[in-house]
Structure 1
Amino acid sequence: MKKVLILFFILSFTSVYAQQKADSTRVVRLEEVVVSATRASADAPIAYSNLNEKEIKQENAARNIPFILQTLPSVVAYSEGGTAVGNTSFRIRGTDANRINITLNGMPMNNPESQEVYWVNLPDLSNSLQSMQVQRGVGTSTNGTASFGASISMQTLGGRAKPHGDLSVSYGHYNTRMLSAAVGTGIFKNGLSLDARFSHIKSDGYIRNGKVDHKNIYAALSHYSDKQLIRLIYMNGIQHTGITWEGVSPDMIEKNRRYNPAGEYIDDEGNTRYYDNETDNYYSNIGQLIYTRYLTTHLTLNANLSYNHGYGYYENYLPAYEQFFSSFGLPDQTVGGKAYDTSDLTLRKMMKNNFYVGGANVEYKTSRLGLTAGAMYSYYDGSHYGRILWVKHNENIPQGYQWNRNTADKKDINAYLKAEYRPLDALSLFAEVQERYIDYRMAGLDDDMADLSSNNYYNFINPKGGASFRFARHNEVYASFGISNREPLRADLKETGKPGAARSITSERLYDYELGYKYTNSIVAFSTNLYYMDYKDQLVQTGKLNDLGYKLQENVPDSYRMGMEFALAYTPTYWLRMDGTLTLSRNKIKNYTAYFDVFDNDVDWNLTGQDSKYYKSTDISFSPSGVASFSLAFKPIEGEDFSLSFINKYIGRMYYDNTSNPDNRLPSYWITDMAASYTLDAKKVGKFDFQLFINNIFGKKYSSNAWVYTARFEDGTPYVEKGLYPQAGANLMGRIRYRF
């Protein structure tokens, strides 16, 4: 930490005396080009929300991006450990995160196998961002995985003409603390600039073992000229997080909301103990090279390269009743003259991957016509393997015994053409088409010794079109239609490809219809959007997890999501602002058949078959019919930079399987957060920000996520396992920040 602070002040001191020369207008335009191909323009017939740097940071103290976005329309954020740090994720319109396309500076960030971004692996990324756009529905064509319910385009910081620095320290409940230090040289006369940031987040967590130890480094070297921008970016993330994915049973929540079964075992004296290193760990290194150039007055080139290397593992303790030696390809062990077919042991399951991406696009733009042609190629190679670290009853198993390994490589090629044409000043037409080809191959043994070898090929055509019309000065209406196709996840393919699987997995298709209206003036901004999302073979969550905490899915032939989204921003006076969003939706599966495992008894646990139950219509899991937010921001003292905000979020009740069983339903909840901020302007020295955050101010007891597994024994006795994820009650966080 001392080295970081010394570096911060050295760079701050030297940068103040550097000579800068920058055309700020030209810099801003070049920055916009970097992400323009993955974003909707102002006239695009798309439902979207934009966030600038101030909005991203104003209520952010040790919060992952899902919770920064939670006040946007149709967004539901949730966490495993009960707070906004650690393992967090979100859904948009009920769509899980593995269907949300995410790009950083135009480059894909979704893991090609899980098709999800794990924010825990990119600690404090939000403090390195200058803007974000969230598109709902199919949206515009983008790089990487399919945008099957939403897409998020993020852009990192850059382009500041003057030297700057930012140092903040936060501390709050559950021993949560964060240090963040950032500096930038500004743009020198030769066009060079350097920006760097370091952050460190630690927490004990709300749930037992919800500990967090995260570090992040961001550095960007940029060169600007009148016609081009070249930027080299490096990001390093190191995360150590306690395992919390098992959740808490409903019975245990009544006794101890902070209970976590991970790592629990009984020692030889009958005492309950916990394994100390029940952790998930990941090391990521991301490099990006961005090149943007004005070729002519109307023609712009944007070319990018990206490399993402990741290595990670989780380690946990498993009691004897959960594992047999035969599961690892091992013989029974004889120790002290006694034979054992099972034993307590500790495992480490590991993965390594490399993700290479190259992409380019050319934009042609006049006052009436905009054309964008782009293409991207990515190659992913990864391996998964497991090792046994320790065995209680060990005859001849070597330490670090590796019992399995499987590999995968995935090639993804896409090309797209977009066109926006304005035949009249008030009318804008939009059309695009994307072709995407995927070659995904797996080989080797899974952790249950099943052979995963398979070759999977997909070729998708994704067309989109729409129009927007402006009238009566402040009004706009728009309509659009789009088709998106998406391949299954690794977890889907590997589970259903094993012997005895109930059904196969195929790709899914979405037909998205959007109709919207916007009204905007200097005081009020209002928008409403109607959507109908018609799915063919949609992959929906079964409510069951595999042993890594992945949410298992299944195809359903016929399903839909339909709803209305409202957003309002109202600023009647300089000291008051009100923001609100509301989504009302209906999310249904037609003609659904649910399958339930049948076991012989609760001793041998031999799978003997499956039951099935037919539903003519049932609710899609994790899809609340009502989602709302309401925020009030006050500046009560004229002439003082003091603000007070109240942020409210409502999530309607939702099922966590697809049977509409009221026993498998999370109750609705309403939570309120408060943020108070005061800025002291020390003129030549810089500015000091003092902030206080109170999360869940009324101490609402609720769970934001859950899973369930339902089966029965041959004698008819039902068997149900559940895991709920309780969230923290009222908790505080304070932050002091210095910036110049």
Structure 2
Amino acid sequence: MKKVIWVFIALFISAVGAIYSQPQADSLKLVKLEEVVVSATRVSRGAPIAYSDVGEVEIKKDNAAKNIPFILQTLPSVVSYTEGGTAVGNTALRIRGTDASRINVTLNGMPLNNPESQEVYWVNLPDLSNSLQSMQVQRGVGTSTNGTASFGASISMQTAGGKGGKPYADLSSAYGQYNTLLLTGAAGTGILKNGLSLDARYSYIKSDGYIRNGKVDHKNIYAALSHYTDNQMIRLIYMNGIQHTGITWEGISPEMVSTDRRYNPAGKYTDDNGKERYYDNETDNYYSNIGQLIYTRYLSHSLTLNANLNYNNGFGYYENYKVDETYEDYGLGNQTVDGKTYSTSDLILRKLMRNDFYVGSLNLDYKVGKFGFMLGGMYSYYDGSHYGRLLWVKHNENIPDGYNWNRNTAIKQEASAFLKAEYRPLDNLSLFAEVQERYIDYRMRGRDDDLMDLTNKNYYNFVNPKGGISVRFSNYNEVYGSFGISNREPLRADLKESLKGGVARSITSERLYDYELGYKYANSFISFSANLYYMDYKDQLVQTGKLNDIGYKLQENVPDSYRTGIEFSLAYTPTGWLRLDGNLTLSRNKIKNYTAYTDVFDNADNWNLIRQDAEFYKSTDISFSPKTVGSLSITFKPFEKKDFSLSFINKYVGKMYYDNTSSADKRLQDYFVTDMVASYTLDANKIGKFDFQFFINNLASIKYSANAWVYTAHFEDGSEIVDRGLYPQAGTNLLGKIRYRF
């Protein structure tokens, strides 16, 4: 903890020193420097890339106790899902069928993905959306960004700061079913005459959750100290997230779904009297601290500098009750208690992780005449450790308290640089090109959970070129095309599995060739776009449908696969009282010449692995990749002079397989879900505004599961066991929200 404190003190001193070494502002005309903060990871109007911008009003409009995946669920090709059945707790998203570990996420231009899992766990930054002023989602390879490779999409987020020249306050409270409670408070000084501004926000979320043990207890703090002059901006940001969440990653069997959709096996055991009980502290916990120092300056009329420092500190653990565990698996011998020798025992374990993530980036943006250039670079250093402790063992002869049976550490360093160039030879013609180089040094050592030696070194050097063209035929019509290459290293979990005996093939890096062709039309009352894409993968890592013991999605390389589809988007305002927003994605997602491997064991009593059987598929569907995804939002404003609106938000997700065999019994059914939001704003003139909202989620109480896992085992006698887990989503549930702001 001392390290965390000293890093933030250093950032604060740096910020204060920089502020007071500069002349104070005479005006606020350059507040647009805000946009420079994220310019390296975003594209602007006319770029030959499929993207969606989401502003602060849209982020907060229909948001009550929702994590970011559910705020983005109405965007093209997005599928959001949750373990616990509601939009709080553990939530995730896929875009174009690619999972969260393949989606690059940046916060103020700095990488947010965990370097080892390459995923953002939104639950670890509760209610982050209320601290944001904008987001941009790019589909496909997109533009070069910092951190994890964009292998299907990227999300660029920008936090709030400054808020114009006036002080403000924003208080809200929401309450709904499953005892869901949200309390938030935000305030800011606005930009003062000396150029300083201070923004702060606190958020608290608590809920019992839909499924048993789906409880959440989350807190989030955000603070930003900014200073503006006519030609520069300096900002110091601190974010703190604390999450305590019930374990929900196990899922439930299809048979149990039909009996009790809210069942959760986590923590279940049988006591000495043969009675079923649950361990109450079956929880996942994480403490996150993020500090950022952002510096942006106009060096000249044509040249802009953006330099950032970022520090992420994380500590987390989960606690499990395990039934009938073998001592040998924990490096222990049999235990003799009261004259009886035991080889197995019930126990309570805690698996912990600590990590420090340091990032520095520098960008120079030069624009003159018809030319624009951006040069940038980033260096990051990640130091992480994983270890496990036994808190309690039922049959204990000589096991010490807090026995540590495993520990492994990792150092991951990345250095990257990019050059972007834009040329506009004509007013209606834009040419775009860029190249990025990423170098990764990833080293692990120590023992894994199953006492396997993880010591290994991995080095990767990737070159990612991109290019595109955009042509405007009038003020309303635009056609664009682009091509890009992205390379990506395996996850920690992928490398771990490749080290284990009996795997069918080793794990390697993967490559994507992304082709995009699009058309856009927009006037004062209608906008329409169509985007055709073809994503050709070499050695793509796809989900097998199997999870490891803590919910990580196990993957394997497939030599040849592709995703192709077309995305339609429409926004139409035929009258002042009606607005329609919709999108539809039709896609085909295939693996060519795929071989599926199934574990074969001696029998269901001993589970000794004998071999792996292979089954060949000439062509098969990629797991978790629905052919059809669509959204339609209908908003009514029936009273001309009243700030009242009624919205119906509809989401359709087609059938998808949860392994790569295209087997009908390993498929999630399609679903169509409607949410309703009623909003009314009361303008109380001098004292501010009151917003009242009423939410009905899953209006028709559709029974569906949005995610699943499966594992199939064969035995020498020809029998098989198929284990699977589904994640049922909540039926109709209500929530009300009151917000006061000035």
Q: Give 2:446's aligned residue.
A: 444
In the alignment, which of 58, 61, 84 is matched to residue 81 of structure 1? 84
Provide the C-alpha distance between the structure 2 equivalents of 1:36 and 1:114, rounded to a whole number of angstroms.
26
Q: Gaps spanning 5+ residues in structure 2: where? A: 1-23
Q: Give 1:115's aligned residue.
A: 118
> CA RMSD of the aligned region, Å?
0.9
Q: Is the 8 Å Cα contact of residues 530 and 569 (structure 2) preserved in structure 1? A: yes
Query: What SS does the corresponding residue of 2:344 show, helix, strand or coil?
Result: coil
Q: Give 2:190's aligned residue.
A: 186
Instruction: List aligned pairs for 1:653-664, cutoff 5 A.
Output: 653-664=655-666
In the alignment, which of 617, 620, 623 is matched to residue 621 of structure 1? 623
2:162 maps to 1:159 = yes
| CA displacement at 1:524 relative to structure 2 | 0.3
| CA displacement at 1:159 relative to structure 2 | 2.4
| CA displacement at 1:368 relative to structure 2 | 1.6
2:710 maps to 1:708 = yes
Q: Is the 8 Å Cα contact of residues 25 and 229 (structure 2) preserved in structure 1? A: no
Q: Give 1:143's aligned residue.
A: 146
| CA displacement at 1:574 relative to structure 2 | 1.5
Provide the C-alpha distance between the structure 1 equivalents of 2:44 and 2:513, rounded to a whole number of angstroms.
22
List per-residue Cα deviations over 1:492-529 (Å, max 9, x = no partner): 00111123322210000000000000001110010000
| CA displacement at 1:548 relative to structure 2 | 1.1
List per-residue Cα deviations over 1:177-219 (Å, max 9, x = no partner): 0000000011111100000000000000001000000000000
In the alignment, which of 48, 53, 56 is matched to residue 50 of structure 1? 53
Instruction: List aligned pairs for 1:566-577, cutoff 5 A.
Output: 566-577=568-579
Provide the C-alpha distance between the structure 1 equivalents of 2:404 and 2:397, rounded to a whole number of angstroms.
16
2:379 maps to 1:377 = yes
| CA displacement at 1:366 relative to structure 2 | 2.9
| CA displacement at 1:25 relative to structure 2 | 4.4
2:652 maps to 1:640 = no
One-letter code aligned to 2:202: F
Provide the C-alpha distance between the structure 1 equivalents of 2:210 and 2:80, rounded to a whole number of angstroms.
17
2:407 maps to 1:419 = no
Provide the C-alpha distance between the structure 2 equivalents of 1:286 and 1:642, rounded to a whole number of angstroms.
38
Provide the C-alpha distance between the structure 1 equivalents of 2:594 and 2:235, rounded to a whole number of angstroms.
51
Q: Is the 8 Å Cα contact of residues 162 and 198 (structure 2) preserved in structure 1? A: no
One-letter code aligned to 1:683: N
Provide the C-alpha distance between the structure 2 equivalents of 1:483 and 1:64, rounded to a whole number of angstroms.
31
- Decide whether aligned partners of structure 1 residues 516 and 359 sit closer, same or farther in structure 2, where only a CA change above 3 A counts: same
List per-residue Cα deviations over 1:302-348 (Å, max 9, x = no partner): 0000000000000010011xx20000000000011111000000000
| CA displacement at 1:399 relative to structure 2 | 1.3
One-letter code aligned to 2:104: N
Instruction: List aligned pairs for 1:29-40, cutoff 5 A.
Output: 29-40=32-43
Provide the C-alpha distance between the structure 2 equivalents of 1:443 and 1:284, rounded to a whole number of angstroms.
24
**How many residues are matched?**
718
Q: Give 1:305's aligned residue.
A: 309
Instruction: List aligned pairs for 1:671-690, cutoff 5 A.
Output: 671-690=673-692
| CA displacement at 1:711 relative to structure 2 | 1.3
2:465 maps to 1:458 = no
Q: Is the 8 Å Cα contact of residues 26 and 230 (structure 2) preserved in structure 1? A: no
| CA displacement at 1:724 relative to structure 2 | 0.2
Q: Give 1:71's aligned residue.
A: 74
Provide the C-alpha distance between the structure 2 equivalents of 1:527 and 1:97, rounded to a whole number of angstroms.
25
| CA displacement at 1:297 relative to structure 2 | 0.4
Provide the C-alpha distance between the structure 1 equivalents of 2:718 and 2:28, rounded to a whole number of angstroms.
73
Q: Give 2:247's aligned residue.
A: 243
Q: Is the 8 Å Cα contact of residues 452 and 498 (structure 1) preserved in structure 2? A: no
Provide the C-alpha distance between the structure 1 equivalents of 2:387 and 2:369, rounded to a whole number of angstroms.
55
| CA displacement at 1:24 relative to structure 2 | 5.1
One-letter code aligned to 1:170: A
Q: Give 1:471's aligned residue.
A: 473
Q: TM-score, normalised by structure 1?
A: 0.96
Query: What SS does the corresponding residue of 1:174 show, helix, strand or coil?
Result: coil
List per-residue Cα deviations over 1:478-504 (Å, max 9, x = no partner): 000000000000000011112332221
Q: Is the 8 Å Cα contact of residues 304 and 360 (structure 1) preserved in structure 2? A: yes
One-letter code aligned to 1:390: W
One-letter code aligned to 1:252: M
| CA displacement at 1:26 relative to structure 2 | 1.6
Provide the C-alpha distance between the structure 2 equivalents of 1:641 and 1:82, rounded to a whole number of angstroms.
32
Query: What SS does the corresponding residue of 1:349 show, helix, strand or coil?
Result: strand
Q: Give 1:362's aligned residue.
A: 364
- Decide whether aligned partners of structure 1 residues 554 and 335 sit closer, same or farther in structure 2, where only a CA change above 3 A counts: same
User: Which segment drifts farther, 153-162 or 45-54?
Assistant: 153-162
Q: Give 2:555's aligned residue.
A: 553
Query: What SS does the corresponding residue of 1:493 show, helix, strand or coil?
Result: helix
Q: Is the 8 Å Cα contact of residues 29 and 230 (structure 2) preserved in structure 1? A: no
Q: TM-score, normalised by structure 2?
A: 0.96
Query: What SS does the corresponding residue of 2:41 show, helix, strand or coil?
Result: coil
Q: Give 1:399's aligned residue.
A: 401
| CA displacement at 1:153 relative to structure 2 | 0.3
Provide the C-alpha distance between the structure 2 equivalents of 1:314 and 1:725, rounded to a whole number of angstroms.
20
Q: Is the 8 Å Cα contact of residues 533 and 565 (structure 2) preserved in structure 1? A: yes
In the alignment, which of 717, 727, 730 is matched to residue 728 of structure 1? 730
Provide the C-alpha distance between the structure 2 equivalents of 1:21 and 1:570, rounded to a whole number of angstroms.
42
Q: Is the 8 Å Cα contact of residues 712 and 721 (structure 2) preserved in structure 1? A: yes
Q: Is the 8 Å Cα contact of residues 335 and 393 (structure 1) preserved in structure 2? A: yes
Provide the C-alpha distance between the structure 1 equivalents of 2:679 and 2:398, rounded to a whole number of angstroms.
62
Query: What SS does the corresponding residue of 1:26 show, helix, strand or coil?
Result: coil
One-letter code aligned to 2:199: D
Query: What SS does the corresponding residue of 2:197 show, helix, strand or coil?
Result: strand
Q: Give 2:94's aligned residue.
A: 91
| CA displacement at 1:260 relative to structure 2 | 0.3
2:215 maps to 1:211 = yes
Q: Is the 8 Å Cα contact of residues 347 and 388 (structure 1) preserved in structure 2? A: yes
Provide the C-alpha distance between the structure 2 equivalents of 1:25 and 1:393, rounded to a whole number of angstroms.
71
Q: Give 1:254's aligned residue.
A: 258
One-letter code aligned to 1:203: S
One-letter code aligned to 1:119: W
In the alignment, which of 217, 221, 227 is matched to residue 223 of structure 1? 227
Query: What SS does the corresponding residue of 2:52 show, helix, strand or coil?
Result: strand
2:265 maps to 1:273 = no
Provide the C-alpha distance between the structure 2 equivalents of 1:714 and 1:266, rounded to a whole number of angstroms.
31
Q: Is the 8 Å Cα contact of residues 28 and 230 (structure 2) preserved in structure 1? A: no
Q: Give 1:738's aligned residue.
A: 740
| CA displacement at 1:595 relative to structure 2 | 0.3
| CA displacement at 1:472 relative to structure 2 | 2.7
Provide the C-alpha distance between the structure 1 equivalents of 2:29 and 2:713, rounded to a whole number of angstroms.
63
Provide the C-alpha distance between the structure 2 equivalents of 1:477 and 1:37, rounded to a whole number of angstroms.
23
Q: Give 1:6's aligned residue.
A: none
List per-residue Cα deviations over 1:91-133 (Å, max 9, x = no partner): 0000110000000000000000000000000000000000000
List per-residue Cα deviations over 1:361-418 (Å, max 9, x = no partner): 0001134211100000000000000000000111111110000000000001100000
Q: Give 1:16's aligned residue.
A: none
| CA displacement at 1:477 relative to structure 2 | 0.1
Q: Gaps spanning 5+ residues in structure 1: where? A: 1-19
Provide the C-alpha distance between the structure 2 equivalents of 1:495 and 1:333, rounded to a whole number of angstroms.
30
List per-residue Cα deviations over 1:399-452 (Å, max 9, x = no partner): 100000000000011000001110000000000000000000000000000000
Instruction: List aligned pairs for 1:286-297, cutoff 5 A.
Output: 286-297=290-301
Provide the C-alpha distance between the structure 1 equivalents of 2:484 and 2:228, rounded to a whole number of angstroms.
37
Provide the C-alpha distance between the structure 2 equivalents of 1:480 and 1:159, rounded to a whole number of angstroms.
36
Instruction: List aligned pairs for 1:522-537, cutoff 5 A.
Output: 522-537=524-539
Q: Give 2:20's aligned residue.
A: none
| CA displacement at 1:21 relative to structure 2 | 8.4
